[in-house]
Structure 1
Amino acid sequence: MRDLDDLFAALARSDFRRKFRLKGGDVEYLRDKGLPLVMLHAQDFIAKRLAPAVIPNDGQQTPMRGHPVFVAQHATACCCRGCLEKWHDIPPGRALTPEETQHVLATLERWLRKQAEPLPPPRQSGFEW
């Protein structure tokens, strides 16, 4: 598996990977739900869509939008087994090991944390006097 600092340096040099940013509803979702819950969703997505040895629609299983994790997967090349092989040195054709799954989740969390840095705190409900 690739070192995360090395990986993020390489991703920063990719015009395609660099263009991904959280916007609109994804920013609100991350702010409102919080990173811990979003990372629980990431665990579920990875377990079902990326970790199995055989993925029927590999290369097309990750939508480009609709959840902050989907955007993070494309930004960090954790979207399909081909990208995992190319960018993370994780071979396809077998289930991800627990260590590889943790690597993917750590990658996604690092990107999401960076995206969350400029977020304002959640809005307070009710009136402000």
Structure 2
Amino acid sequence: MQDLDKIFEALSKSAFRRKFHLQGKDLVYLQTKGLPTVIAHARDFIAKRLAPAVIENDGKQTPFRGHPVFVAQHATACCCRGCLEKWHRIPKGRALTSNQEAYIIKVLERWLRNEMEMGS
């Protein structure tokens, strides 16, 4: 796991990661439901889709759109265990610890807050 400022600086240098922003229904959903509700959804998504040691469809478990958290996961490289290992140094093949899950939520929350500020 890395310092949030450092990881966001690294992510900003990736053309792929930089292209993700909340638009349309995803932005309206975040603004309407509010950050606490969307973060509660994020906790559930992380627990079910990323936390297990072995994920059957790893690399394909996170859609690119349909929920603000999905967009945030791709923007922050929290979308699959391969990206978590590469970008955040969270190893594959082991269940996520509660501290690792909390770290991922902090990353997602920071990105979502930034998007809310830009979308206002």
Which range, TM-score by smaller chain? over 0.9
User: How much does 1:119 deviate?
Assistant: 3.6
Alignment match, 1:86? 86
SS of 1:72 mapped into structure 2: helix
- In structure 2, C-alpha distance between the alignment counterparts of 1:103 and 1:115, rounded to whole Å: 19
> C-alpha offsets along residues 73-99 of structure 1, whole Å, 9 cap, x if unaligned?
000000000000000000000100111
- In structure 2, C-alpha distance between the alignment counterparts of 1:63 and 1:2, rounded to whole Å: 25
The number of equivalent residue pairs is 120
State the percentage of identical aligned residues.
68
- In structure 2, C-alpha distance between the alignment counterparts of 1:54 and 1:119, rounded to whole Å: 36
- In structure 1, C-alpha distance between the alignment counterparts of 2:74 and 2:119, rounded to whole Å: 21
Give TM-score scaled by structure 2 length. 0.98
- In structure 1, C-alpha distance between the alignment counterparts of 2:94 and 2:106, rounded to whole Å: 20
Q: Structure 2 unaligned runs (5+)?
A: none
Structure number with greater Rg is 1
User: How much does 1:39 deviate?
Assistant: 0.2
- In structure 2, C-alpha distance between the alignment counterparts of 1:14 and 1:83, rounded to whole Å: 13
SS of 1:63 mapped into structure 2: coil
Q: Flag as ranges the 4+ runs of structure 1 deviating above 2 A.
A: none
**Larger % of helix: which?**
2
Whichever residue aligns with residue 59 of structure 1, its letter is: G
Give TM-score scaled by structure 1 length. 0.91
- In structure 1, C-alpha distance between the alignment counterparts of 2:118 and 2:4, rounded to whole Å: 22
SS of 1:69 mapped into structure 2: helix
**Alpha carbon RMSD of aligned pairs, Å?**
0.6
Alignment match, 1:108? 108
Whichever residue aligns with residue 24 of structure 1, its letter is: G
Alignment match, 1:95? 95
Q: Structure 1 unaligned runs (5+)?
A: 121-129
Alignment match, 1:33? 33
